[in-house]
Structure 1
Amino acid sequence: MRKILFVAMVSLLSFANCVVADSLGLSDSVKGSEARSQIKAAATTSNILYYGSVDPANAGIITALDLFLTDLYLKIDDSKYYKQSDVDKCVKDVQIIGLLVLDPSTTVATSDNCSGLKPNGEII
């Protein structure tokens, strides 16, 4: 009986830890590397749609340069976890503002939803 109680208590404490819950996918969080890839995918789509219609001959070069700048401006730690809803807001900004108003790299640098991404705090 003591072993079962001990295992149950350790399990409960482990799941209460934010890092464990994040890594198991039990919270509404996404790893930094996945957040980065989601934002870069949105930037790629916006770049191709915009530059493909404006300057098709140079769209590939401009897209590659803008993706490099987007990655440079992203202040995301690949090993930490971020709220999925915050990442979704940044992706939406890149898709809308990055396509219609600014380029995606400038959107990432200036949008509060992208430049203000904060990792989840650890509970230890």
Structure 2
Amino acid sequence: MRKILFVGIISLLSFANCLVADSLGISGSIKGSEARSQIKEAALMSDILYYGSTDPANAGALTTLDLFMTDLFLEIDDNKYYKQSDVDKCVKDVQTIGLLILDPSKTVTTSKNCSDLKANGAII
């Protein structure tokens, strides 16, 4: 009986740790590398649509440069976890503002939703 209680308490303490809950996907968080991937995917689509319609001759070079700049400006640690809802807000900004007003790399630096992405902290 004591073994079961001991294992139960250890399991509960381990489960309560935010990092464990994040890695299991229970806390509504995603890993930084996945967040970076989602934002870069949105940036790629915005770049293709924008530069493909405004400057088709140089669209490939401009898209490549802007994707490099977007990745450079993203302040995301690939090994930490971020709230999915916060990442979704940044992706939405990149899709709308990045397409209609600014390019995605400028959107990442100026949008509050993208520049203020904060990693989750540990509970214990």
Q: TM-score range by the shorter chain?
A: over 0.9
Residue of structure 2 equivalent to 1:104: 104
> Residues 1-124 of structure 1 correspond to what in structure 2 (within 5 A)?
1-124=1-124
Q: CA RMSD in A?
A: 0.6
Query: Displacement, 1:17?
Result: 0.3
Count the aligned residue pairs: 124
TM-score (structure 1 length as normaliser): 0.98
Quote the Cα distance in structure 2 between the aligned partners of 1:104 and 1:93. Answer: 9
One-letter code of the match for 1:89? K
Quote the Cα distance in structure 1 between the aligned partners of 2:108 and 2:54. Answer: 21
Quote the Cα distance in structure 1 between the aligned partners of 2:32 and 2:113. Answer: 15
One-letter code of the match for 2:47? N
Query: Displacement, 1:57?
Result: 1.2
Range that drifts further, 90-99 or 20-29: 20-29
The answer for unaligned runs of 5 or more in structure 1 is: none
Moved over 4 A (4+): none
One-letter code of the match for 2:106? T
Percent of matched pairs sharing the same residue = 78
One-letter code of the match for 2:51? Y
1:57 is paired with a residue whose SS is helix
Quote the Cα distance in structure 2 between the aligned partners of 1:121 and 1:17. Answer: 10
1:122 is paired with a residue whose SS is coil
One-letter code of the match for 1:51? Y
1:82 is paired with a residue whose SS is strand
Q: Once the two structures are superposed, what CA deviation does each residue of 1:35-67 show, in whole Å capped at 9, x if it has no partner?
A: 000000000000000100111111110000000
